[in-house]
Structure 1
């Protein structure tokens, strides 16, 4: 499959590590140039090195929900690589852990802002700058917690359910030239998800039919498929990537 994205450029948000970096690595392996974002330039520079350096990747630091940062990322993508063919909205936050009845509402508003509103803004800007005229493909990174209630991360799951709905609506609005899909991972071994498995990984893994937790590469391969021409007749879908966990009603 190497080379199927030759000449194409992808923006992947929240990609200095974890799932985002796994997605970026797969896209580069398939020939794409990637522009990755995160909060800290130092970690982005390290990630760019892992992706093969300046010929393959560019890191632009900033907050995912900052409109000026979004504009700058898209500008640099166009100036450096000449296009914005793909967008992966991977950034997600969950600064709370516990019952929703005790949720800090200020934190709730921030989660919605980053997980949902920022994703819409990135899509609006990518479409205006490139995709409306040239076509493209978008993937929104959701979560299996968007499909079934998950204790202690319930509001995060609710925002991801909203993101699934956004994916469906934008697929209707932006076709036929732009496809919009999503991916919903279960527990993937990243720093972000550590509270869900740390200290009990073997026990947690045994509850999945495939008997292991996910790794970023598992998600990266599915995202690459959804962006590729192999998925040319798919839009508005959120693909579950969960080691069979939802078969067992596992969402955490």
Structure 2
């Protein structure tokens, strides 16, 4: 694919994107390829991984990020195909257990941290040992604007993403100057994972946001690829908020914000 983003400094680089077959992950993978990078995608559905890898001209590995052996295979596959791993995008996540924390089972709570916090660390460790320790690179973790405030029923998700936010800063300090580590915190985006929030009353939700619409995966992908690129070469340990103005909605003169009301009423599909 011809690069239209050569100025981003990703020509010839290699990237790993978890949860890379749909939603934000797919949009990130597509934009990385457009910027000249080669991409290894991973997700649980083997058919989707094969199809996405073929469409992007890259490689793919199916499996769960909760399995450290799978993450080792991802790094090995990328190294075998490309001979390098310059960029890691930790996008795969779970929003389970959903509901009040007083009802959360300890096992489900731990599972959220395995997927949302431990897996990103394990993948970065693998990329560091295989390539980045000697050659440098960039890591972008997908967090959430909800990591900075509280809301109904997503306590495990928000708490684990807050931990990922701190992990981002910790790794940025430990891996400098070789590797830059940053995060992007999306607001409500049109993805399958968030469908239960926006689909029942999208017009009302969008009207409550200062920018007047919910996000698209491409909105997040643009931010991720910019942070991963040389255009952001003097940025590390930062969190880029891409939320359509969610944080400033209390000053917005439009109608009331509806997401918290919806979160009290709807349950997401299990992931």
CA distance in 2: counterparts of 1:95 and 1:151, whole angstroms: 13
Name stretches of at least 5 consecutive residues in structure 1 with no aligned partner: none
- Which contiguous aligned blocks of 4+ residues in structure 1 show a shift greater than 6 angstroms? none
**Residues 62-73 of structure 1 correspond to what in structure 2 (within 5 A)?**
62-73=63-74
The alignment of Structure 1 onto Structure 2 pairs a total of residues equal to 248
CA distance in 1: counterparts of 2:64 and 2:82, whole angstroms: 22
1:47 paired residue number: 52
**Residues 97-112 of structure 1 correspond to what in structure 2 (within 5 A)?**
97-112=98-113
Give SS of 1:184's match: strand
Which of 10, 17, 23 is the matching residue for 1:12? Answer: 17
2:5 paired residue number: 2
Give SS of 1:138's match: strand
CA distance in 2: counterparts of 1:195 and 1:97, whole angstroms: 12
Name stretches of at least 5 consecutive residues in structure 2 with no aligned partner: 251-256, 261-271
Greater gyration radius: 2
> TM-score under structure 2 normalisation?
0.88
2:30 paired residue number: 25
1:232 paired residue number: 233
Displacement after TM superposition at 1:76 (Å): 1.0
Contact 1:145 1:154 in 2 (8 A): no
2:174 paired residue number: 173
Displacement after TM superposition at 1:211 (Å): 0.6
Deviations 1:31-87 (A, max 9, x none): 100000001110112222442xxxx31111011121111111111111111110000
Q: Does residue 1:35 correspond to 2:40, yes or no?
A: yes
Give SS of 2:189's match: coil
1:212 paired residue number: 213
Q: CA RMSD in A?
A: 1.3
